[in-house]
Amino acid sequence: MARYVFITGGVVSSLGKGLASAALGALLQARGYTVRLRKLDPYLNVDPGTMSPFEHGEVFVTDDGAETDLDLGHYERFTGVSARRTDSVSSGRIYSNVLEKERRGDYLGKTIQVIPHVTNEIKDFIGIGDDEVDFMLCEIGGTVGDIEGLPFFEAIRQFAQERPRGECIFMHLTLVPYISASGELKTKPTQHSVKELRAIGIAPDVLLLRSDRAVPEKEREKIALFCNVRPDAVIAAPDLKTIYEAPLAYHREGLDRAVLDAFQISPAPRPNLDRWTDVMDRMENAEGEVRVAIVGKYTQLEDAYKSIAEALTHGGMANRTRVKAEWIDAEIFEQEDPAAYLEPYDAILVPGGFGERGTEGKIKAAQFAREKGVPYLGICLGMQMAVIEAARDLAGVADAGSEEFDHEAGKRRFTPVVYHLKEWVQGNRMVERKVSDDKGGTMRLGAYTAVLAEGSRVAQIYGATSIEERHRHRYEVDLKYRDKLETCGLKFSGMSPDGRLPEIVEIPEHPWFIGVQFHPELKSKPFAPHPLFADFVRAAVEASRLV
């Protein structure tokens, strides 16, 4: 049976519960334990799949096709444990499950209530797979006191009460703000947050204090006294230069020791932190720098491309190079010449996205990269835009475009080089979709196999001719244009096993030009950079030396 750590937050959101959870998972692994991390989100969406990136940041996709919170990306990057559909749930999913059971008559005519029916559903979810690992880390989204989060707090309170003593602990993350006018760190917000938590029946075992500076011993002792927490379980979490410093920094502060003490695990196995020492060495002792332009449409919120930014950092680690990723709004290129913006960069990346806005700018970015010999990586929509650009400018399909951009029924503005995907093979079954289907959860989601052409650049990069990558899309490049495009130099170097769906395109005569229909960034880790990103940064380093 697993031991449970429930991670909650207070005072304000966005303090870094996900990062703290991931770092704790990494530290427990360093001591030889197995872990799984889980996210419980109070919002009423069934999942983040239909939410705008401006609302919630990126959508992280698991191998089994779940659209989840971006914190699951942190979990994977820090622990290397592949997330599953059962590692993320929202209030919307919980209530949907309860109502489906009620319609089936599972509750035998009882009145359905938050307690016990909703809380029981949450507890059932929390307990999935608890015989598989040593520690289950469950993060509760939002902050204590949020009305929508109350069922989750009640559920974890009940869960801890029902388990044998010593199998569950609570870790609470709060803000200790610095008031410049008085020159003091203030502990009162933390005291009030813990008071709120205790009022609903949860007493924290470990407190993690977020601050923009070191928290002196005096303030920690005061918090321990007023919050009824052991002094050695009050852990400072000041701002860090990089998120990858978190495991080492939290270990120095004693977070993993405090958690194991709360479980009365003594003596604890000694930690092996060589992995994280190497990660920090590669970051702090970079031997150069490259500039990469990310031409996208959600550039006002970097969390919209969180995994891409981190994968570029990992690619830099693989090359002992610092990657300076800079965001450029694709819409700018619809009015202005991209050359003035893109010439200073060593490489160009065009990420995924949905809808027509900004796509003409992405096409121009792909054209610039192709014509100027600048390393180019197109991901999902970024691959489609590269294909459309080649169709227009090389293959003579002047009005090439995507069905995604033709909104009016019966009025076609483009020749659809990219079409709405209506069927595909998943495992041993055929999946069928219609344009009129619900939007949520209906894309081609999760891990699929791709077969790489012998001798292709991508086969050399991967060191294999069969790979598995995660997808999230509902539009595909139409193979009827393949011969025409390949005659012009754009090679289809990766295909689905049945040969029906293009997975990768590349230009062999270009220094480095690759488009992929999948999302390689989702599988990259600091201690295991994704091969595409590692080689993309290598190409950027070479390009920078030619300037």
**Confidence check: pLDDT of 403 > 70:** yes
**Confidence check: pLDDT of 205 > 90:** yes
**Confidence check: pLDDT of 423 > 90:** no
Encode pLDDT of 338-376 as tens digits. 898 999 999 999 998 887 788 899 999 999 999 999 999
- The DSSP letter of residue 233 is G
Q: How many angstroms separate the CA atoms of 401 and 391, rounded?
A: 9
Helix axes 91-104, 119-126, angle to 10 degrees: 110
**Cis status of the peptide bond prior to 267, with omega within 30 of 0:** yes
- Average pLDDT (161-174) is 95
Mean predicted lDDT score pLDDT of the chain? 91
Encode pLDDT of 122-146 as tens digits. 999 999 999 999 999 999 999 998 9
Encode pLDDT of 498-540 as tens digits. 999 999 999 999 999 999 999 999 999 999 999 999 999 999 9
Tell me the CA distances in angstroms from 416 to 28, 356, 392, 393, 409, one per residue in order: 51, 13, 12, 15, 14
| Structural domains of the chain sorted by starting position, each given as residue range(s) with its CATH number in brackets | 3-279 (3.40.50.300), 289-418+477-546 (3.40.50.880)
Active site residues: 380, 519, 521
Facing residues of 376 across strands?
Answer: 348, 513
Residue 69: closest CA among 96, 87, 94: 87
pLDDT (0 to 100) of residue 408: 47
**Confidence check: pLDDT of 267 > 70:** yes
- How far is residue 131 CA from its own chain's centroid? 26
Confidence of residue 303 (pLDDT cuts 50, 70, 90): confident
pLDDT (0 to 100) of residue 432: 64
**Confidence check: pLDDT of 254 > 90:** yes
For the ranges 43-52, 65-74, 289-298, which has the lowest average pLDDT?
A: 43-52
**Confidence check: pLDDT of 439 > 60:** no
- How far is residue 529 CA from its own chain's centroid? 15
Encode pLDDT of 23-42 as tens digits. 999 999 999 999 999 999 99
pLDDT (0 to 100) of residue 335: 85
Residue 135 tokens, joined: 């520690």
Facing residues of 60 across strands?
Answer: 68
Q: What's this model's pTM, rounded to 2 decimal places?
A: 0.92
For β-strands 423-426 and 429-432, DSSP reports them as antiparallel
pLDDT (0 to 100) of residue 297: 80
- Average pLDDT (202-216) is 94
pLDDT (0 to 100) of residue 18: 93
Q: Burial letters for 52-80: b for 16+ Cβ neighbours within 10 Å, e otherwise?
A: ebeebbbbbbbbebbbbbbbbbbbbbbbe
